[in-house]
Amino acid sequence: MLKVFSNIKLKIGPKIIGGIVILAGLGWFVAKKQWARRCVRIEVTVDDSHQQFFVSEQSVKRMMTKSGSRKLVGEPLSYINLKEIEKDIEKHKFVQNAEVYAGVSGVLFANVTQNRPIARIVRPRAKDAYINFDGAILPTSSRFTARVPLVSGAYANKFVNGKQDEIFEGVMTVLRKLEEDEFLKAQIAQVDVDKEGRLKIFPQVGKQIFELGLPQDIDRKLQKLTWFYEHIYPFKGPNAYKRVSLEFERQIVCE
């Protein structure tokens, strides 16, 4: 019985090896033929699923060609360094990720994901700046203005200068929660951080100010803010109170 199985293996083995060799040869031939092709054109796709337009197709093409000094169209694909082009695109502050690859037909594709800000830091004596979900500081752009909550106050100015402490992390928690909560995001216009790190929230509609105190127990405080909008706001309206404190546990203080 063992001898029979041994014979079967010996008969099948060469066929499998032969098939692998043929497939490898075909793969090598196709790859060689593809890379012998020349770049016929460049196609750029910029992710704008969040309606952010900091990066355009034209600007990506300029980065890929280094404003015309790097020839791509007409060049053999085997001469084009795709990784180097990706790195050049990702140098742009508003590019989070870039993927560059060549198609079988000779088209050079670039897929770009934008670096999306979640808030804008406003500074009366210096240029404004954006901040993204990871806490990275981004410059403003003359091309596009993002509709995001504003961050103001003496302490917020330190964020642009690289200060990352407990206050910074607390503020980032607030901003991330607002970004992820579509309802609250639609209500909030501005977050103010005073020199001691205490937070105040200004709504889109109305003159009342929501006080959070120090950026601690953020989930609890924002849950109370949602409760206020669901159970008090519909009956009292946007201007019933000047001040609404969410700082203290198990209570909302309205004045």
Which sign, positive or negative, has the C-alpha torsion 187, 191, 192, 198? Answer: positive
pLDDT of the chain along its 255 residues, tens only?
A: 444 444 445 455 555 665 565 655 555 555 555 556 899 999 999 987 677 789 999 999 999 999 999 999 999 999 999 999 999 999 999 999 999 999 989 999 999 999 889 999 998 888 999 999 999 999 998 888 999 999 999 888 888 888 788 999 999 999 999 999 999 999 999 999 999 999 999 999 988 899 999 999 999 999 999 999 999 999 998 888 999 999 988 889 998
What are residue 213's phi and psi, to 5 degrees? 70, -150
Report if residue 227 sits inside a domain. Answer: yes
Reading across the β-sheet that carries 95-102, which strands appear in turn? 41-47, 107-114, 95-102
C-alpha to C-alpha distance for 133 and 142, rounded to whole angstroms? 21
134: helix, strand or coil: coil
Beta-bridge mates of residue 111: 45, 99
Same domain, 131 and 73: no
State whether 153 and 248 are in the same domain: yes
Choosing from 93, 114, 135, the residue where a domain stops is: 114
> Does 237 share its domain with 200?
yes
230 and 140 within one domain: yes
How many domains, in total, are found in the chain?
A: 2
Pair 170, 155: CB distance under 8 Å: no
| DSSP bridge pairs for 114 | 95
210, 127: one domain: yes
48 and 156 inside one domain: no
Q: Which amino acid is at 154?
A: A
Q: Please give the Cα distance from 168 to 188 (Å, whole number).
A: 19
Q: Does residue 250 sit in helix, strand or coil? A: coil
Q: Determine phi and psi for 69, rounding to 5 degrees.
A: -80, -20
Question: What six digits make up the tokens of 175?
Answer: 């901003």
The domain boundary, picked from 89, 114, 139, lies at 114
Domain extent at residue 179: 117-254
Is there a single domain that holds both residue 90 and residue 139? no
108 and 212 together in one domain: no
Looking at the structure, do residues 144 and 125 belong to the same domain, yes or no? yes
* Domain contains 12: no
**Has residue 137 been placed in a domain?**
yes
pLDDT value of position 14: 59
User: Which one of 74, 89, 114 terminates a domain?
Assistant: 114
Residue 167 lies in a domain: yes
Q: Are residues 191 and 69 in the same domain?
A: no
Tokens 């309802």 sit on residue: 183
CATH of the domain at 108: 3.10.20.310
**What are the CB-based long-range contacts (under 8 Å, 24+) for 25-30?**
none
Radius of gyration of the chain (CA): 28
Is residue 166 located within the same domain as residue 86? no
Same domain, 132 and 229: yes
CA-CA-CA-CA dihedral for 89, 90, 93, 94, to nearest 10: 80
pTM of structure? 0.76
Phi, psi angles (nearest 5°) of residue 14: -60, -35
Q: Does residue 10 belong to any structural domain of this protein? A: no
Domain at 130, CATH number? 3.40.50.11690
